[in-house]
Homo-oligomer: A and B are copies of this chain.
């Protein structure tokens, strides 16, 4: 055997990640296996380990791609909004839309956990933080008089809230599942939280 250089290592990586995405979106993280990926790209298991440290590493990279796609979709949603409030609303809806369109892939980002000793690599943590920073960017016009710590708190609170709604809805723990009904919850969260913040800021 050995079809030397039919694909570069980088190509094999890409193929493996794409195959893994397919399998996960079809059967979830539980349905993913090294042998399935290998079979789908026409190589054997061993080859995967020349290109990834192990399956956890591969999943981490699939998750990175998911976060990238999610981030892109959320950034896109900002083209059609004008005020901080409507922009955060748009972001929340885009988040929900992505999650309902790619439920298993999105879910894997939060389902997957590294083994005890392993650390989440910095480049992965960065991708998560970028999401919060994008919220922060929208909100700063409303919070110019506030400390950075306060702005950080507000962005995190809102975005965690949106995530919580999305998470419980997509995993079927609420009775709702269609995107439209979930938007009602995220809209409510963002509108009321911001309205409440406005009153407490005035009262100072």
Contact = CB atoms under 8 A, between A and B. Distances in A.
A111 B198 CA distance: 36
Interface string A178-189: 000000110011
Interface string A144-175: 00000000011011001111111111011110
Given A111-B111, A113-B28, A195-B196, A160 B165 contact: yes
Interface residues of A, number: 42
Q: Is the interface of A mostly helix, strand, loop or mixed?
A: helix
B168 A163 contact: yes
A113 B174 CA distance: 15
Given A113-B111, A188-B153, A165 B167 contact: no
A197 B189 contact: no
Interface in A96-134: 110-111, 113, 115-116, 120, 128
A189 B193 contact: yes
A44 interface: no
Contacts of A184: 153
Contacts of A76: none
Contacts of A156: 165, 174, 185
B128 A185 contact: no
Contact of A163 (B27, B116, B164): B164
Contact of A193 (B165, B193, B198): B193
A192 interface: yes
Contacts of A198: 196
A159 B173 CA distance: 12
19 contacts: A156-B174, A156-B185, A157-B165, A157-B185, A157-B188, A160-B161, A160-B189, A161-B165, A162-B164, A164-B165, A164-B166, A191-B196, A192-B192, A192-B200, A193-B193, A195-B200, A196-B196, A196-B197, A196-B198
